Amino acid sequence: MAPRNQIIENERIFSSDPFTSDCPGREIFIHVTSRWALLILASLSVGPMRFHMLRDRVDGISEKMLSQTLKTLCRDGLIDRTVEPTVPPQVTYELTQIGLELAGLLRELSSGWGDVCPTSSPPSLTTIR
């Protein structure tokens, strides 16, 4: 069996394991699991949204961070960006087919988090003693 990263006929063999640094999908995996991408993908799973709707839906995200994350997810092929030729231009974001599949998994994963997370802050050291 050939070791990872072995070069054969001037072509590099890539692993499809995201735990290895040469996995082609690892960069997208990192983007999707970022702090804001999960919330943006889950928000768009209900349908297309404009920038301001996403900003209001994802509480706490800055406009700069929303813009950067949307650009990254568009570049990764998970989100489509549509610009309507109006004044001012109307930009709508929606999930691609791959984005829809991923968002479905994310919503399923996160659906019960609110039920199992503590509602108050963790106990202080004085209450533990």
Topology of domain 12-108, CATH: Arc Repressor Mutant, subunit A (1.10.10)
Question: Could you read off the pLDDT of 26-73 as tens digits, one per residue?
Answer: 778 778 878 899 899 989 999 999 999 999 999 999 999 999 999 999
In which order are the strands placed within the sheet that holds 90-95? Answer: 49-50, 90-95, 79-84
Domain edges within the chain: 12-108
Q: Going by C-beta distance under 8 Å and a sequence separation of 6 or more, which residues neighbour residue 1?
A: none
pTM (2 decimals)? 0.71
Residue 25, both tokens: 């999908």
81-111: pLDDT as tens digits: 999 999 989 999 999 999 999 888 877 777 7
